[in-house]
Each structure stands twice: as C-alpha cells, then as structure tokens.
A and B are shown apart, each in its own frame.
Chain A
Amino acid sequence: MSMQASQWLPIAELSAKVRAGELRAADLVEQALKTIEAKKEYNAIIATIPERARTRAASIDAAIKNGETVGRLAGVPFIAKDNFLVFGAETTAASNMLKGFTAPYQSTVIEKLEAEGAICVAKANLDAFAHGASTENSDFFTTKNPADVARVPGGSSGGSAAAVVLDMAPFALGTDTGGSVRQPASFVGCVGYKPTYGLMSRSGIVAMASSTDVVGTLTRTADDAAYVIDVIAGRDPLDGTTIERDPAGYTDVPAAMKGKKIGLIKEWMGEGVAPGVATVIRSAADAFRAAGADVREVSLPSLPLSLAVYYIVVPAEVSSNLSRHDGQRFAFSYADAATLDESYTQSRGNGFGAEAKRRIMIGTYVLSSGYYDAYYRKAQTVRTKLINEFNEAFKQFDFLIGPVAPTTAFKIGENASDPLQMYLADVMTVGPSLAGLPAISVPAGTSDNLPVGLHIVAPQRSDRALLGMAKAAEELLA
C-alpha cells in the first residue's frame, strides 16, 4: 500500500536539486512551515522553529550561490520528536516537567544532520518522556491519526509519524525504546526504522531506558530512511554505547527478495492478533513467496514473555534516568518548598505526569532490596533466553516477519484508563528492542481502511541488508 502522492521529492533528489540551484532551501522551509500551519488541527507539532530554520536556509542558499560546497541534505526540512535537544526551540519531551527548558547544547544526530545541510523546522508531539503507545500521555495534547481523526497515531513517536503522513516534511526523527517508531508507523502508514542498538548516538536526547533506547526515522520510503541513516549512523565519543557504521554505508542498497529465507513468527500470528491484521501479513508472506523468497513459519517460544521482561527492565531504567529531574539543576522546580526533600518530592510529584510516576514506582519496586533478584535479575536472565532464541532463528533465516502491532490504530480514549491494556500495544515490538535487533515497519495494506505495517526483523548489524529487504517489500506491497 503506497502512500498518497507527496509534495516532497525523494530526499536524495530533493537535496540534489537544491545543490544544483534548481530549488531554494528558503522555499522548502516555507513550504514545510505552511503545511504545518495548514494542518495544525492534527496536533502533530508542539512548536515550530521558524527563525533558526529561515536563517539556516538563507545561509545555505547563499553558499550555493557563491559556489561553495554544501552537504548532501542541503535544504531538506525535517521534524524532530520533542525529546531531541535542538537549538532554537524548547525541548519539552511533551512533559510539564521540561516545559520552558531550552537546551544549552544539541543532540549529536541533529549536529550531524545540520552539518549536511538539513534544516529542523519543528518539534513533534509524543507521549511525555516517550512513555506510551498513543500520544495520549502527552502532557499537552493528543495527536490525531491522519487516517481517522477519532483514532490515535500510535506512540510514542506519534507526532513524528503523523507529520510525515501529513506531508509536513520529507522526514522526521523519532526514538524507539520498545516500538515507539515502528508502532506509530504501522498505525499511520509510513516507514518506521529502528536500527541495531547503538548505531546512532543518543547524546542530547532525553533518556528513557538506556539499554534499549535508539534513534529511529519516519519516512515515506525505505530509500529515504537509508539516505538519512547514512548521515547519522556511527560512533560518537559522547555515547559510549555506539557501534561502528557498516563500511558499505546504507545508501544504494539493492532491493533483494529472491532466495531470501524468511521466518514468519508463529507467536506473533496467534491469539490476540486482529484477523484483519493477520490477513494483511499473510498476503505479504504470499507475495514474498511468489517473488522467490523461501517463507516458512518459525517458533520462538519465549517471545510471549517479552512484554513482561520489558515492563520490568524498562521501568527500572526509567526510574534511574528520571532521577535527574530533581527540581534543582534545570526545568520545573516547586517554588514553595521549605526543605530540600520537600523541593524534590513536590517538584517531581507536580512535574511528572501519571505514566512517568507509574513507571518510576514500578522501577523503584523491582530494583528495591528484597525484590531485585525476583524481578530485575530474573527479567534480565529471561532476556538472555529470548536473545538465544532469536540467535537460533537467525541460523535458519535471513529475516523474521510478522505484524508490528496486534491491532490497527485504536480509538482515542479506548485504552487510556487501563495502563496494562495500553502496554499490550507494544507486545510485538518489545522483543527485538530487548535483543538490540534492527527492525522496520513497512506499510503492507489496510484493514477496514486503517493502515497495517509489516514488521521485518534482522540480525544485529544487518541494517544494510534489512533496508534492501524493506525496499523489495515496498515494491511488492505497493
């Protein structure tokens, strides 16, 4: 299912035209800002960055006019999820805690994109601190799904995903801790890429769970994702978890399907999966077979445990990462406290929303003396079991596939009062996150007119091969 016609050329062509002087960066920035303004009612965007964007565009246009060399993303507007530190705008993580926070430095990936001439025009909505699967946990507002405004766009990168489908910019950045790029991509119908753990620097991004947090891209095509990833991938001295980039790079990846061994994950196709979603995924598998791939069912028996592992490991890390928000060094501070302890508890009690508090308390519980072994250590050990099963499967298969989420986009409010039900929206995406595997959501069709994404998972450091597979999938499912 291809996306509707876009006002933006493929990113490689768009920047080539800017470099050739056929298009002006200034016009592209105005086009993005105009579209954002015209589609305000979807609540995809928290803030625009018009001043800085226009200044940067003018200097890029001037450089081109003077015959200076400009980068390979020259003049390409983009949108960042509002948990990336970006100059020229607040970074709120959609939380009251960080409202008014102006970052003193920029995230590494923004620096890399700007060094190649890309221009950040806006910050997108998310679930506060990236905790959620719908943007309903945003402390500001809920983003509407462009396919049906009564439904959520998924989350937590729901604003970024919706912005791409609403054609506000050629690409958007998100973060994916347990599905936060892939699941919204599936819900709105765009491409959502989650790289191998460590492929992109997280320096300058509001941390959620450091053992699974990755930067991801929301784009219209796999080619656009590859073009952006090629700019931002690789080691960063400011993030010790980063890994080396693929020496072959990530662009010019040939579409590859014939002869590929593909495992359709049994545990992702059973009970709890909406029939309309399963039908779309089975048709995709049939299309791959017809194109010469060897598609067989594969079982990973521990996979259904991933959500329980995730909801121990991630809150534990969240409780640790969010401890820096203490009301003393930056952001929200409760003014009327009499003592330091009251300042901590009131700043945090009033600054954090319901989901952040919920996760901080779960994390505090599973890490506390007497429960650590039974919960946290046990979860990290089951995580090993899960990783071993993925490794076994990848001895037989090049890629694993299934749905991205058990359902299509749900209605706004439908899961809002039941946190556990909301967590189930991530049941398929958390497994690859816990194992650090690269994974992508590719639009595969619709069920009752709502987008359904195909989840493709690859071994660690196979990002290049995965992009080639995604490109082939895109061609077959278009």
Chain B
Amino acid sequence: MADLTRDDVLKLAQLARLTLSEEEIEKYRSELSQILAYVQQLKDVDVTGLEPTSQVTGLMNVMREDEVVDYGVSPDDLLRIVPSKQDRQIKVKRMIA
C-alpha cells in the first residue's frame, strides 16, 4: 500500500466526524501510513479453509424475556446529562445549513 495522501486523511476525518488542525493532518498522514504498513504483514498469511472469528466463546443468539425491569434510572436521570435540551427533549443544531 502506498502512503496515505492528505486527501485520504481528510476523507477519513470526514467519515469519522473529526475536525483536524493542519498539523494534525500531516502528523496522522505519516503515523497512519506507518501503522497500516505494519499491519500489511497479514497480507500474505495463508488462511485457506479458515473462517473469520468475531465471537470467541461460542455464544450465539443470547435471548432474554422482553420484560420491563426497573434499574432505578429514570428518563430524567438520563436527560440530566444532556448538554442541550428543551421540554425533556435533546436539542441539536439545525441539520440543513
């Protein structure tokens, strides 16, 4: 893989919803390129016949009864930590510029 370009970093930052300063763009361009070069060593590993693993203990479809349980946390407790609210609703900035 070739080194990341400035545009690659800006595209990643946009996808990840991160603003970056000019210095950060160059720093991450170089650091992310190094890290991606390091993980390239997996490219040639022979994995013929193997499936990917995402769950290691073999649990599958863990089910529970669909019941309301009182854990002592009210909607107001959750609203208390919201940065901006109005009439018990989370208030956000306008979506269309």
Number of interface residues, chain A, beta carbon within 8 A: 70
Once bound together, how far apart are the Cα atoms of A345 and B97, in whole Å?
A: 15
B:77-97 near A, CB below 8 Å: 77-78, 80-84, 90, 92-97
Q: Which residues of chain A are near B51, meaning CB under 8 Å?
A: 381, 384
Q: Which residues of chain B are near A385, meaning CB under 8 Å?
A: 45, 47, 50
Is B24 on the interface with A (CB-CB < 8 A)?
A: yes
Q: Check A312/B42 contact, CB under 8 A, given A241-B57, A380-B53, A420-B35.
A: yes
List of 4 A-B pairs having minimum Cβ-Cβ separation, nearest first: A349-B19, A436-B56, A380-B52, A333-B83
Q: What residues make up the interface of A, taking CB atoms closer than 8 Å to B?
A: 101-102, 104-105, 196-198, 211, 237, 240-241, 243, 302, 305, 308-309, 311-312, 319, 326-333, 337-346, 348-350, 352, 354, 357-358, 360-362, 364-365, 368, 374-375, 377-385, 387-388, 419-420, 423, 434-436, 460
Once bound together, how far apart are the Cα atoms of A243 and B56, in whole Å?
A: 11
Q: Is the beta-carbon distance between B12 and A361 smaller than 8 angstroms? A: yes
Q: Is the beta-carbon distance between B12 and A104 smaller than 8 angstroms? A: no
Q: Is the beta-carbon distance between A329 and B90 smaller than 8 angstroms? A: yes
Once bound together, how far apart are the Cα atoms of A171 and B93, in whole Å?
A: 45
The distance from the CB of B90 to the nearest CB of chain A, in whole angstroms, is: 6
Instruction: Identify which of A105, A211, A305, A361 contacts B18 (C-beta below 8 A).
Output: A361
Looking at chain A's contact residues, the main secondary structure is helix
Q: Could you show 15 A-B contacts with beta carbons less than 8 Å apart?
A: A105-B71, A105-B72, A311-B38, A330-B83, A352-B18, A362-B36, A365-B32, A365-B36, A368-B12, A377-B52, A378-B45, A381-B47, A384-B52, A388-B50, A460-B57
Q: Is the beta-carbon distance between B56 and A387 smaller than 8 angstroms? A: yes
Once bound together, how far apart are the Cα atoms of A287 and B72, in whole Å?
A: 52
Q: Is the beta-carbon distance between B56 and A435 smaller than 8 angstroms? A: yes
Q: Which residues of chain A are near B38, meaning CB under 8 Å?
A: 308, 311, 420
Q: Which residues of chain B are near A237, meaning CB under 8 Å?
A: 64, 69
Q: Check A350/B35 contact, CB under 8 A, given A327-B83, A365-B12, A382-B47.
A: no
Q: Is the beta-carbon distance between A338 and B93 smaller than 8 angstroms? A: yes
Once bound together, how far apart are the Cα atoms of A445 and B81, in whole Å?
A: 47
Q: A197-B56, A240-B59 are in contact. List 9 more A-B contacts (CB 8 A).
A: A105-B73, A241-B57, A329-B83, A340-B92, A352-B18, A358-B28, A385-B45, A420-B31, A460-B56
Q: Which residues of chain A are near B19, meaning CB under 8 Å?
A: 345-346, 348-350
Q: Is the beta-carbon distance between A240 and B42 smaller than 8 angstroms? A: no
Q: Which residues of chain B are near A319, meaning CB under 8 Å?
A: 16
Q: Is the beta-carbon distance between B57 and A436 smaller than 8 angstroms? A: yes
Q: Which residues of chain B are near A329, meaning CB under 8 Å?
A: 81-83, 90
